[in-house]
Amino acid sequence: MSKFFFIFFCTLLSPIFLFSQNCKCDNSIAITERLKELYKDKKIAEIYNLVSDVEKTGNRKCTGIAANEAVALLYYSQDFSEALKMLQRVNKLLNVACLDTVRAYNYYLIGRCYFGLSSMDSSQYYYIKSAELAEKIKAYEIQVNALSDISWNFQSFGQTAKGMDYLKKALAISIKIHDNKESGILYSNIASAYGEMYEASKNEKYLDSSLNALNEGLKLHRIEKNEQSIQYIYVTYANVYLAKKDYKKALSYCDSATTMPEVESYNKYIIYSVKSNVYKNTGNKNLALRYADSCYQVALAVAPPYQIEVTMNELIQCYKDMGNVEMALAMTEKMIKLKDSTKTIEVNAHVNELEQKYNKAQNEKTILELNQEKEILSQQEEISQLKINALIIGVLFLALLVFAIVFFYRQSVLKSKFKTLEIEQRLNRARINPHFFFNALASLQALSMEEKKSKEISEYIHRFSKIMRESLESTFNELNTIENEIEFLTHYLELQKLRSDNKFTYQFSVDEKIETDALMIPGMILQPFIENSIEHGFSSIETGGKINISFKIENNQLKVNVIDNGSGFKESDKHKGYPSRATQIIRDRLYLLNKQYKTNAIFELTNLADKGTKVEIQLPIIPKS
C-alpha cells in the first residue's frame, strides 16, 4: 500500500515540477550580446535562427529573453508581422509566475508591433496588459513604457487630454525610481501633448505649460548627456515658438537640431513640418511646398496614420496656394483612402472601451472578455479538446495534492504534540535525581546523631526545603529569573557541600550588563550538569574541587558556562549514566524552549585540556513579562 502511494505521489508532483522549471537563464547576457552583434551586421535571418535554437533548449526564460531582445532590435527594421509571430509563439511559454517580468515586456513589444501595423485597438489591448502586469510585479520601467505608449495611442485619435493623464502617471513613477533619462523623455512628450492641446483650444496657457515641461526635460537630458533627446527637445521648442508666431526662434531651434549629429527620422519630420509652416506664414510658397513634401515623405516612413493625414492636409494646402489643383486633388484622394483603411472612428470607440474597463477594475480577465471575439478568431487553432482534458487532469491533481499535504501536515502536527507530551512527562520525572533526596536525608539523619549540631541541622533543613519547593514549582513554571535560579543553585550547592564535607567550592559570576531580576531562563537547566560535576567529577578527590558558573551576553544571546576541575569524562562513562543523563535532560528542555520561542538554543559539553569539564549553553534573551 505504501509503495503504491509513493509512486502515486511522485506521479502527482511530476507535472508541477514540469511547469515550475526553467525560471533561470544563466546565459542571458551572452544571448543578448550575440543578438546585438547580429543586428549590427544586418544578419536578420541569423537572428531568427538564434531565437529558434534557444527555443529548442526548452528553457522558457532564455527563450522569452531571446525573443524579446530580438524583437526590440528588429522593431526598427519595421518587419512587424514576422516579429509579431515570434512574440506570440513565445508568449505561450511564459505563463509561469516566475517569468512575469519577461511576459510583461513581451506584452509591451506585441503592442508596439501592432502599433507599427496600425492596428491600434490590438496595440492598446497589449499595452494595457503589460502595464497591468508590470504594476502587479513592480516592474516599474516596463510600466512606464507601457503607460507612455497608451498615451501615444490616445493622442493618435486626437484624445490628447486623456493621453496626458497616462503621461503624468508614467512621469510620477519614473521620478519615484530616479530614472532621469526616462523622466526627461516624458517631460518632452508632455510638452508635445500640451502643444496638441493648444492646437485644439488655441489657449495660450498650454504653450506656457509646454515650455515649462521642455525646460525641465532639457535639464535632465543635459545631466544624462543624451544628445538624441536634446535634439527632440529642440524640435519641440521649434513647434511651440511656431505656435507663438515667433518664427525666428522656431527656425533657430530647427537649425540647432539639424546641426546635431545623426538627426532622427521623426525629428526630421517635425523640423520639415515647422519650416513648411514658417515659410507658409511668411509668404515663401516655394519653400513651404518643398518642406511640406519632405515632411510627407518622412511621415510615410515613421509617423502613425493620423500624423500622415495632417501632413497630407498641409501638402494639399501648399498645392492650392501654388495653384496646382491637379496635385491637390490627387493628394486629397490619397487622404480619403487612408481614412477608410484605418477606420478611425470604430477603432477609437474600441480603444475608449478598453481604457474605461482598465480604469474601473484593472482586471486582465475583464479586458480579455472585451476582446473575446478577436481572441477566439486569432487563437481558434490553439484551443483543442486535449487542452481541456489537461486542465481537468491538472485540477484533479491539484485537489489530490492539497488532500495529501493536509493529511501529512495533520500527521506531523499530531506527532509533534505527542513528542512534546512525552518529553514533558519525562522532564517532570527527572527534575532532580531521586538519589539526591535519599542521600540528603541520610546525611541529615547522620548529622542529627551528633551533639551540638542544631544550627547545622536547621540550616540543612532550610536549604533542603527550598530545594524541594523549587523542584516542585519548576513542574508548573517553565521559566525562572536568573536571580531566582542563582538562589536555588546556591541552596543546592551548600547542601551538597554539607554532604561532602566541603570537598569543593563554587563561584557565580554575572556580566554587569545583565539584570538578574529581569531576564528569564529555563528553571533548573544547570542543575543536572552541576550534579554530574559533584557526583562524578569529584568522586575520586577528598578536597580542592572547584565549580565556576558564569552568565554573560554575547551576539544577542545569553551564554552560560559551567566549568569544573574534576576528572572529566571518558567515552566509556556514557554507559554508566554520565554524561548521557544530563545531556538528554538538557536536550529535552531546549527542544521545548526552541519550539515555544522559535529560537535555536544549543549546548556543548567538552573535556578541558588540563583537567575538568566545560559545559556551554546558549540561550535566547527572554525578558521578564
| Adjacency order of strands within the sheet including 479-481 | 479-481, 519-522, 622-623
pTM: 0.45
Q: How much is the average pLDDT of 330-357?
A: 63
Confidence of residue 482 (pLDDT cuts 50, 70, 90): very high
How wide is the angle at C-alpha 561 spanned by C-alphas 559 and 563, nearest 5°? 170
Q: Which three cell numbers stand for residue 460?
A: 540543612
Q: What is the pLDDT of residue 547?
A: 95
Q: How much is the average pLDDT of 29-44?
A: 80
What's the distance, CA 174 to chain centroid?
A: 18
* Residues facing residue 602 across a β-bridge: 618
* Exposure class string for 284-320: b at 16+ Cβ within 10 A, else e: eeebbbbbbbbbbebbeeebbbbbbbbbbebbbbbbe
Question: Is the predicted pLDDT of residue 518 greater than 70, yes or no?
Answer: yes
Q: How much is the average pLDDT of 395-423?
A: 72
Confidence of residue 519 (pLDDT cuts 50, 70, 90): very high
Question: Is the predicted pLDDT of residue 488 greater than 50, yes or no?
Answer: yes
Q: What is the 3-state secondary structure (H, E, C) of 132-164?
A: HHHHHHCCHHHHHHHHHHHHHHHHHCCCHHHHH
- State the sign of the Cα–Cα–Cα–Cα dihedral 31, 37, 39, 45: negative
**Using one digit for the tens of pLDDT, what is the confidence trace for 242-282?**
888 898 888 888 888 888 878 888 888 888 888 888 888 88
Q: What is the pLDDT of residue 13?
A: 32
Q: How much is the average pLDDT of 92-104?
A: 73
Radius of gyration of the chain (CA): 42
> Which is higher by pLDDT, 333 or 80?
333
Confidence of residue 546 (pLDDT cuts 50, 70, 90): very high
Q: Which three cell numbers stand for residue 497?
A: 557541600
Confidence of residue 438 (pLDDT cuts 50, 70, 90): low
Question: Is the predicted pLDDT of residue 575 greater than 80, yes or no?
Answer: no
Q: Which three cell numbers stand for residue 349?
A: 470607440
Compute the distance between CA of residue 13 and CA of residue 3 in angstroms, rounded to an integer: 16
Question: Is the predicted pLDDT of residue 528 greater than 80, yes or no?
Answer: yes
Q: Where are the alpha helices (DSSP H) in 244-384?
A: 247-258, 265-281, 285-302, 305-322, 325-342, 344-361, 364-370, 372-379
Q: What is the pLDDT of residue 268?
A: 84
* Residues facing residue 622 across a β-bridge: 520
Compute the distance between CA of residue 269 and CA of residue 290 in angstroms, rounded to an integer: 13
Q: What is the pLDDT of residue 550?
A: 95
The residue type at 322: M
Q: What is the pLDDT of residue 113?
A: 81
Q: What is the pLDDT of residue 88?
A: 72
Q: What is the pLDDT of residue 67?
A: 77
Q: How much is the average pLDDT of 416-429?
A: 51
Instruction: Give, in order, the Cα–Cα distances in Å from 278 to each of 159, 256, 312, 432, 606.
Output: 26, 16, 17, 103, 94
Question: Is the predicted pLDDT of residue 507 greater than 90, yes or no?
Answer: yes
Question: Is the predicted pLDDT of residue 421 greater than 70, yes or no?
Answer: no
Residue pair 464/440 in contact by the 8 Å Cβ criterion? yes
Confidence of residue 571 (pLDDT cuts 50, 70, 90): low
How wide is the angle at C-alpha 575 spanned by C-alphas 574 and 576, nearest 5°? 90
The helix or strand, by DSSP H or E, that contains position 127, with its residue range, turns out to be: helix 120-137
Compute the distance between CA of residue 409 and CA of residue 405 in angstroms, rounded to an integer: 6
**Using one digit for the tens of pLDDT, what is the confidence trace for 373-394?**
445 444 544 555 666 777 888 8
Question: Is the predicted pLDDT of residue 573 greater than 60, yes or no?
Answer: no
Question: Is the predicted pLDDT of residue 587 greater than 50, yes or no?
Answer: yes
User: If you write DSSP's letter for every residue of 270-299 in order, what string do you get?
Assistant: HHHHHHHHHHHHTT-HHHHHHHHHHHHHHH
Residue pair 144/174 in contact by the 8 Å Cβ criterion? yes
Question: Is the predicted pLDDT of residue 354 greater than 60, yes or no?
Answer: no
Averaged confidence pLDDT in the chain: 77
For residue 625, give the 3-state DSSP assignment. coil
**Using one digit for the tens of pLDDT, what is the confidence trace for 186-235?**
888 888 888 888 888 888 888 888 889 888 888 888 888 888 888 888 88
pLDDT over 90 percentage in the chain: 7
Compute the distance between CA of residue 209 and CA of residue 197 in angstroms, rounded to an integer: 11
Question: Is the predicted pLDDT of residue 419 greater than 50, yes or no?
Answer: yes
Q: What is the pLDDT of residue 355?
A: 56
**234: CB partners within 8 A, 6+ apart:** 253, 254, 256, 257, 260
Question: Is the predicted pLDDT of residue 561 greater than 90, yes or no?
Answer: yes
Compute the distance between CA of residue 295 and CA of residue 318 in angstroms, rounded to an integer: 12
Q: What is the pLDDT of residue 6?
A: 30
Highest mean pLDDT among 97-111, 381-395, 532-546: 532-546
pLDDT over 70 percentage in the chain: 76
> Which is higher by pLDDT, 128 or 462?
128
User: What 8-state DSSP symbol labels residue 26?
Assistant: T
